[in-house]
Structure 1
Amino acid sequence: MTYSSLSRRKFVSLGLIGGAASVGAALVGCSPKSPSEQDAPLGDTGSSPYPQIDLCGRPSMSEIELSAVEAEPITAYDTEETYDVVVIGAGASGLPAALAAAEAGASVCVLQKEPKAASQGASCCYINRESTDDLAIAHLLRHMSDNGDSRGSWDLNRAWAENCTDALNWFMGHLTEAGYQENEDYKHFPIAKFDYPEGSANLNVYIFPKNVGGAIERLAESTSNMYALKTETPAVQLISEDNRIAGVYAKDSQGQIIRVNANKAVILASGDYQNNDAMVEKYLPDAAMYPRKQINKTGDGQLMGMMAGAKMQYIGHTKMVHSNTTKGFSRLMQSGTMLAVNELGRRFCAEDRIFSVRNNITRNQPNNVWISILDSKDPIAHESLEEKDQVQKDFSKLDAATPDEGVFKADTLEDLAEALSIPADEFLKTVERYNELCAAGGDVDYGKATACMISVDKPPFYAIRRSYCISAITSGLEVTADNQVLDTEGNPMPGLYAVGNCSGPFYGSPDYPMDIPGLSVSRAITSGYLAGKTAAAL
């Protein structure tokens, strides 16, 4: 495949403008479609307002219109600048990419859609190489592959495992230079141990009480002299010349078009597409029903890449889902000991299901709500529970919590039902049945582990109400282990890289696995760090 400049003919072939051409079939590997077929949904999409054209990586006009991307080929511009490396996005992957490239001697421009550098997340992990040997790492990689039903890229996972320790040490070194202090701005400690017959894989974690976003902002401020950061200047279209990606067009806050040439590479680090409803319905319909935690994540990098011939990760993208309503009780919320009811006052599942898949259970419940019920007994009374200290700390905070925090308290179950606005008669029957199962020593209704069956009978009583939202979509354009973007025929695209949630397939499962704390941010930092160094060396 060649990467000629984006002509109107190529936009026709991609299905972005009415009409079809035979070259389009070769480009995306699908049969040509007529204009009417291009705009028609595939199968029954119900009430969806977004046309679901073929899933071969051709963006629809609905997707483009919900993004910052320009569909019509740009033929004129107001100013022109040239750098070695252009990074699109100033987040947890983009900023490390820019910094690593600059340190390697490249001139760098960062195009950021937001008014400042921005990111999300609370932690990032790395492998403790002093206590983890290569064999244990291989088994950790096998564990990650199994988590993703073997659909994630082993090469991408291995690249993370081999480089995350250096990348995180480098990242935290820069934060220390920027004034970050341990125990004040972050905490650092061992977080996970994965034991295998052949050895143990040990991971450490950095926790950021003020969010990773604060760390990224601080890093941007302290390293601003090393690259050109253009805020409120989204990238809108890639430039393909001489069989490579040669730069990008961007639009500043005044609407001026800037041609930004990249002598070496463009790195796509613009994050996921959760706020582009047309892309969500096409690539991850499983997530369409959930509210979105972020803003302006409209898949700009993925769309620009596909318009230039890049391949989108196969369908079955991975969603990261967290509680949308309750804050400060994360470990208690993950405990499987509490009774769970829906807004009808009825129990609906075995409550000891792992946290990462609970959203799939609540999707069939009224308003996607899970209400945990517990009494005044110690919620960590059983030896099977993990992270007991943190669960106990969360439990001790309940009395001071308020309904605004998603926590309710009452001296009677009737009053608790009233506070929750759920049917008291149904709720009382549910609690009575649950207590009977606890006394009988087994959950014949849903098969919950007996060790996690704790009755609800000692006042005062508490309820923690939660619903779920999409925190991130961790899938994007297909890349090599070096994060070079692949075209629709599986060939690396010269001059184009993608990192973080703009790339994939790192995971593979429908739900983001939460048994490796801080993996998402660690992957973002590590992939950006590697891509920046690679691009600078071209």
Structure 2
Amino acid sequence: MQWMRKAISISAITLAVAMTAPAFAADYTADVVVIGAGASGSAAALASQQSGAKTILLEKTPFQMGAGSFAGGMFAADSSQQKAAGKTVDKKWLFNQYLSLSGGFQNSLLVRRIIDESGKTVDWLNANGCRMTLVDAGTGGAYAHIGMPATLHGYQDGGAKALVALKDSFLKAGGQALFSTRATELIKDAKGNVTGVRIIGKDGKPGKVTAKAVVIASGGFGGNKDMLERYIGVPYTMGEVTQNTGDGIQMAWKAGAGKRGENVAQYFWETFSQEEMGKITKQVGDDWFALTDFTRYPNLRVNTNGRRFSNETDATLYSVHGAEIAMQPHQTEFVIVDSGMLDKVKAKGFAAIEEQYANWKGDKRQYFQEFNEPNDTDELSKAENTPKDVAAFLDKLVGNTATVYKANSIPELARAIGVDEKNFAASVEQYNKAYHDGKDPLFFADGKRLIPVEKGPFYAVRFTSRLLGTLGGIRVDDRLRAVTSDATPINGLWAVGADAGGMYGKAYVDFEGGTLGFAYTSGRLAGEDAAHYAKTH
């Protein structure tokens, strides 16, 4: 779980590129222009340039960021690494993951194309300096994924460096990148073909890029409060990447593109409010991350009404449980911890509850980077087998935050966290009975894995939902071409990554690397197609 510790880290080389960029010129000409320099945009620009099209890459911030810069890796079905390891993934299994989780609300032709092309994308990324290595499912902290097919190709140097590597490959191939340059409007000719984009440089100077094809890769609208309220609904959580404000989506809509997937939110894991983070770090500094240990174990969860609402043994299905929290009142859950659990952890570490990294000891070590920090199963196994006085840590936060609460009885804890006492008592009773009976008639949890709430003092840790971003907006076909509401392609316009709608239903898939896999693969394919279009029109 080290991958969750920090926010995005920006390498010095990235900033240096932005600082040494050429002076802004009012007008540019290219075959293809790509809007957004995240994972999907960087892939699109590089693929386009390598396909023989003169390509310009636009980015409104001074450097490359986006969700791809802090992700852990991408999925594939049949990369060279999977073939060599004898771990190719059944494409029917992958397709059914999308189908079942979308309930049929997906562009099946697009889904199948992305699955079929995913392995080629991993090989292509590795050939262009973005080092990725196949790792087993569950090694990133998703304990519930253990035993699933190995889909994840994890960043070996972190996402930030991977994006820089792709940008460097793009520049070496003859491409041009304009940072601190905002795209404001698509340009269309009299026939309705997209022929470029209007831009504003960092000095506020307007200009334009005339091109035969445009690829939109602006990362969704997780940082746009108005769009979140309108399309995701109230309450909502702000996305992790606040510069993703839906610019490209709105430009495409204005140019006639249809809407698709504008209501898809990528809830994942859980977090604390900014206000609470300030209080927590004031008391314990960087040790605040120890609180997230409680997200990994099947402790009782209740909402702000004091009611149990989920199968706690599936808590490390992070996308699913993140969505469950988002569905609760105030998008909040309380994790309930009793002193019996804390006594075991103090004596033998969290492995006394569940040993989650035992499969990868010794020569089975797995390694990748997420959030640009190491995810090393050797270190994670060592940590879970190290005794910890967690109660002493929690006590530092009791009374100083609205995150950690302590009480000697269940009624007292209910009053402390402000939930209905009867509801809470009933939830504790039902949960404990499920533990003792070994089965859960309410949410069908494996009762033997539940952690009883019986020995005081008792603690509660408050968490809120965490939104990585949005996953859709622009209707596309299986070629990633932007299309109108009646599915007519808009000549010269493509949309990829988090701007493209149709890969998901209400939520995204719960196997590892799904989102980044779509970002990179959609970017590569659209870049190639846009280049071909530009050279033939």
Q: TM-score, normalised by structure 1?
A: 0.70
Distance 1:530 1:408, change over 3 A: same
CA distance in 1 between counterparts of 2:97 and 2:465 reads: 26
The answer to whether 1:122 aligns with 2:72 is yes
Residue by residue over 1:80-131, the C-alpha shift from the partner in whole angstroms, topping out at 9 and shown as x without a partner, is: 1101110000000000111111112211111101111112222212113534
Q: Which residue of 2 aligns with 1:512?
A: 508
Equivalent residues in 2 for 1:20-169 (5 A)? 79-120=26-67, 121-128=71-78, 130=83, 131=86, 136-169=90-123
1:369 to 1:452, Cα distance in 2 relative to 1, 3 A: same
1:494 aligns with 2:457: no
- State the secondary structure of the residue aligned to 2:31: strand
TM-score by length of 2: 0.70
2:209 aligned with 1:260: yes
Gaps of 5+ in 2: 1-23, 140-146, 273-287, 360-376
Secondary structure of 2:128 counterpart: helix
The yes-or-no answer on 1:312 pairing with 2:253 is no
Q: Relative to structure 1, is the Cα distance of residues 431 and 147 closer, same or farther in structure 2, using a 3 angstrom cutoff?
A: closer
Q: After the TM superposition, which of the residue ranges 385-394 and 217-226 deviates more from structure 2? A: 385-394
**Equivalent residue for 2:137, pick from 186, 191, 198:** 191
Match of 2:184 among 229, 236, 243: 236
Q: 2:125 aligns with which of 150, 168, 171?
A: 171
Cα distance change of structure 1 residues 157 and 388 upon mapping to structure 2, 3 Å threshold: farther
SS at structure 2 position matched to 1:352: helix
1:187–1:166 distance in 2 versus 1, CA, 3 Å: closer
Q: Distance in 1 between matches of 2:426 and 2:101?
A: 38
Does the C-alpha gap of structure 1 residues 425 and 127 become closer, same or farther in structure 2, counting only changes over 3 Å?
Answer: closer
- For residue 270 of structure 1, the aligned residue among 201, 218, 224 is 218
Q: Secondary structure at the match of 1:116?
A: coil
C-alpha RMSD of the superposition: 4.0
In structure 2, the residue matched to 1:358 is: 321
Between stretches 338-347 and 373-382, larger displacement belongs to 373-382
**Within 2, Cα distance between the matches of 1:250 and 1:125?**
34
Given candidates 519, 528, 532, the residue that maps to 2:527 is 532
| C-alpha contact 2:261 2:474 (8 A) present in aligned 1 | no
**For 1:264-304, what per-residue CA distance to the aligned partner results, in whole angstroms no more than 9, with x for missing partners?**
31000011012222322332226x42232221211111111
Distance change in 2, residues 1:159/1:394 (3 Å): farther
Determine if contact 2:223/2:238 at 8 Å carries over to the other structure: no
Alignment-mate amino acid for residue 222 of structure 2:
Q
2:46–2:169 Cα contact (<8 Å) kept: no
> Aligned to 1:370, which of 313, 316, 334?
334
Structure 1 residue 205: deviation in Å? Answer: 2.0
Which deviates further from its counterpart, 445-454 or 147-156? 445-454
Deviation at 1:327, TM superposition (A): 5.1
| Conserved 8 A contact 1:269-1:500 | yes
Equivalent residues, number? 441
Contact 2:299/2:451, CA 8 A, preserved across alignment = yes
Q: Distance in 1 between matches of 2:532 and 2:226?
A: 37
Cα separation, 2, equivalents of 1:410 and 1:364 = 20
Cα distance per residue 1:164-186 (max 9 Å; x no partner): 1111111122226xxx6xxxxx6
Residue number in structure 2 paired with 1:246: 195
* TM-fit CA distance, 1:431: 5.0
Distance 1:87 1:350 in 2: 43
Question: Mind listing any 5+ residue stretches in structure 1 that lack a counterpart?
Answer: 1-76, 181-185, 194-199
CA shift, 1:219, in A, is 3.1
Quote the offset at 1:504 in angstroms: 1.6
Structure 1 contact 236–248 (Cα < 8 Å) conserved:
yes
Aligned residue for 2:17? Answer: none
1:428 to 1:148, Cα distance in 2 relative to 1, 3 A? closer
User: Letter of the aligned partner of 2:487 in structure 1?
Assistant: G
Partner of 1:522, secondary structure, is helix
Q: Tell me which moved more, 210-219 or 374-383.
A: 374-383
Amino acid paired to 1:281: E
Q: Distance in 2 between matches of 1:109 and 1:428?
A: 61
Following the alignment from structure 1 to structure 2, what is the Cα–Cα distance between the partners of residues 400 and 165?
A: 45
2:305–2:419 contact (8 Å) kept in structure 1: no
Contact 1:409 1:461 in 2 (8 A): no
1:483 aligns with 2:480: yes
**1:469/1:407 CA distance change after superposition, 3 Å:** same
For residue 333 of structure 1, what is the aligned residue in structure 2? 295
Q: Is the 8 A contact 1:128 1:203 kept in 2?
A: no
1:222–1:140 Cα change, 3 Å: closer
CA deviations 1:294-336 (Å, max 9, x no partner) are 212111111111111111116643433332238578786254x
* C-alpha distance in structure 2 between counterparts of 1:253 and 1:409, whole Å: 44
- CA gap 1:231/1:311 in 2 versus in 1, 3 angstroms: same
CA distance, structure 2, for counterparts of residue 94 and residue 400 of structure 1 = 46
Is the Cα–Cα contact under 8 Å of residues 292 and 471 in structure 1 kept in the other structure? yes
Question: C-alpha deviations, 1:385-406, integer Å up to 9, x for none?
Answer: 9866579667446837756999
Partners of 1:208 and 1:314 lie apart in 2 by 28
State the partner residue of 2:284.
none
The aligned counterpart of 1:292 is 239
> Match for residue 44 of structure 1?
none
Which deviates more, 296-305 or 320-329? 320-329
State the AA in 2 paired with 1:98.
A
Number of the residue aligned with 1:321: 268
Q: Compute the displacement of 1:430 (Å).
A: 6.0
CA-CA distance at 1:223 after TM superposition? 4.0
Post-superposition offset of 1:428: 8.1
CA contact 2:439–2:448 (8 Å) conserved in 1: no
State the secondary structure of the residue aligned to 1:175: coil
Structure 1 residues 152-161 or 431-440, which shifts more?
431-440
Is this contact kept in 2: 1:332–1:395, CA < 8 A? no
Q: CA deviation at 1:445?
A: 5.6
The CA distance in 2 between the partners of 1:283 and 1:357, in whole Å, is 20
Please give the per-residue CA displacement for 1:219-247, whole angstroms capped at 9, x wherever unaligned. Answer: 32454343211111110000001421000
What is the letter of the counterpart of residue 189 of structure 1? V
Give 2:281's aligned residue. Answer: none
Q: 1:137 to 1:433 in 2, by over 3 A?
A: closer
Amino acid at match of 2:268: V
Give the Cα separation in 1 of the matches to 2:493 and 2:513: 27
Task: For residue 466 of structure 1, report the CA deviation from its aligned partner.
Answer: 2.4
